[in-house]
Amino acid sequence: MKIRLALGVAALTTLFPVAALATNGYFSHGYSTISKGLAGAGTALSQDSIAAATNPAGMAFVGNRIDGGLEVFSPRREYTVTGPMSPPPAFPLQQGTYTSSRNGFVIPHLGFNRELSETTRFGVSVFANGGMNTDFPGGNGGPFYGGRTGVNVEQLFIAPTWSWEFSDNQAFGISPVIAYQRFEAKGLQNFAPFSSDASALSNNGTDDAWGYGYQIGWQGEITDTLRGGVSWRNILEMNEFDKYRGLFAQQGDFDIPQMFNAGIAWSGIEDHWILLDIQHIRYSEINSVGNPLVPNLQTARLGDDNGAGFGWDDMTIVKLGWQWQQTPTQAWRAGVSYGENPISDEDVLFNILAPGVQEWHVTGGLTHTFTENLDVSGMAFYSPAKKVSGPNPLAANQTIDLEMYQLGASVSIGWKY
């Protein structure tokens, strides 16, 4: 009954809007309140039933529990244009600084895990991605003279997970990943001359798509004080966004890139854990995200296989976390992560829509255990302002600056049964 209930809750979650993030590209820096408090580290040390988002093998070690939480997330995005307004056929942007108006979002996460036998577990982790979200006002014609302008990507993942502790403190896990995403674009109609299908370029409302893939992982004890973990998720093959087949490369394709995680966790100091993770995200393999703006905008039409994308490079993120079990009922956390932003100077024009430029995250968190069954966790993070500057490829002598900083906080409840 509990397994059926958990699967039902996961399915119902797809009915709720999933707010956009923009942290490591458009991947979140972590997926549960506990993991986020450690700057997203946790490949080698899992502590709740959202663990499959990072490493499905970790579900073997979290016991029978249910977790649920909400994050309040606030990205602050703006762009600035400097330089003269060149005459046609150039496409200059209006000078000035413009700020995206959507600054507050709520992101849920849910998880369930149950021991099936002494060595096997079954669970479900539900978590979210996003990040390509903007809403710029239509003053002065809007960024591209199409009125109010922006995009919104929302992604939800449901990961049923089977884990097997094949030896003492050694586990393997696998998650078939079900993905759901939605997209909307507006204000881009003046790029119609560059599009393979101008009727499927902009202002077509929200389109959605389902897809699938899988994630596998190992987690286990290396020595008495050292744990390790690795995981890999393949490219999630998504249905196309047909309403935007004239915008995204490969006729509306927007697959979700593959991801690698590796980490260690050391407990050589009593009551303390030190965690170190490395995450690698291969944005460049997805044409609609990785194709560069220049020269692709001049050599292929938007929507074609080689059509211009956002020009995002692959990201490698290093995450360092610290956890202190001050008392049997009180744990404290802190973390810092860094990954070079995926946007190059040459691709700033399209990334007005998706300024995923963040590099540093500083985090803190705690868990308080109220009873043997109930614990409550909290987390807050700050990602300092990062600026990327580059030329407007459609108007000589113009420069575009992208800038963003972020704040966020979350709370979750864990129930052991």
CATH number for the domain including 118?
Answer: 2.40.160.60
Which pTM value belongs to this model? 0.93
Question: What one-letter code names the amino acid at 407?
Answer: L
> What is each CA distance from 186 to 96, 102, 363, 393, 401, in whole angstroms?
21, 14, 34, 21, 21
Pairing of strands 330-339, 150-167: unpaired
pLDDT value, residue 130: 60
Q: Spell out the per-residue pLDDT of the chain, length 417, in tens.
A: 444 444 444 444 444 445 445 589 999 999 999 999 999 999 999 999 999 999 999 999 999 999 999 999 999 999 999 999 999 889 999 999 999 987 888 889 999 999 999 999 999 999 998 656 899 999 889 999 999 999 999 999 999 999 999 999 999 999 999 999 999 999 999 999 999 999 999 999 999 999 999 999 999 999 999 999 999 999 999 999 999 999 999 999 999 999 999 999 999 999 999 999 999 999 999 999 999 999 999 999 999 999 999 999 999 999 999 999 999 999 999 999 999 999 999 999 999 999 999 999 999 999 999 999 999 999 999 999 999 999 999 998 999 999 999 999 999 999 999
Q: Confirm if 309 and 249 have CB atoms less than 8 A apart.
A: yes
- Which DSSP string corresponds to 122-182? EEEEEEEEE-----B--GGG-TTSSSSBEEEEEEEEEEEEEEEEEETTEEEEEEEEEEEEE
Q: How many domains does the chain have?
A: 1
For 154-173, letters b (16+ CB in 10 Å) and e give bbbbbbbbbbbbeeeebbbb
**pLDDT the model gives residue 88:** 87
Task: Please report where in the chains the tokens 């979140």 appear, as a residue.
Answer: 28
Q: What angle do CA 251, 255, 258 make, to 5 degrees?
A: 150
- Give the count of alpha carbons within 13 A of 76, CB side only: 9
Amino acid at 232: W
CA torsion, ordered 294, 299, 301, 305, to nearest 10 deg: -90
**Could you tell me which residues come within 8 angstroms of residue 267 by beta carbon, excluding any fewer than 6 positions away?**
225, 226, 227, 273, 274
244: three-class secondary structure by DSSP: helix
Q: What confidence score (pLDDT) does residue 13 get?
A: 46
Q: What is the DSSP letter of 289?
A: H
- The C-alpha atoms of residue 395 and residue 82 are separated, in whole angstroms, by 11
List the domain range (segments joined by +) for residue 205. Answer: 2-416
With vertex at residue 226, the alpha carbon angle to CA 223 and CA 229, rounded to the nearest 5 degrees, is 110
Q: How far apart are CA 371 and CA 271, in angstroms?
A: 20
Q: Which of 375, 363, 374, 343 is nearest to 79 (CA)?
A: 343
Name the DSSP letter for residue 313.
Answer: P
CB 183 within 8 A of CB 151: yes
Alpha-carbon span 215 to 111, nearest angstrom: 16
Q: Concatenate the DSSP letters of all residues of 45-98 into one string.
A: ---STTGGGT-GGGGGGS-SEEEEEEEEEEEEEEEEEES--PPTTS-PPPPEEE
Eight-state DSSP code of residue 256: B
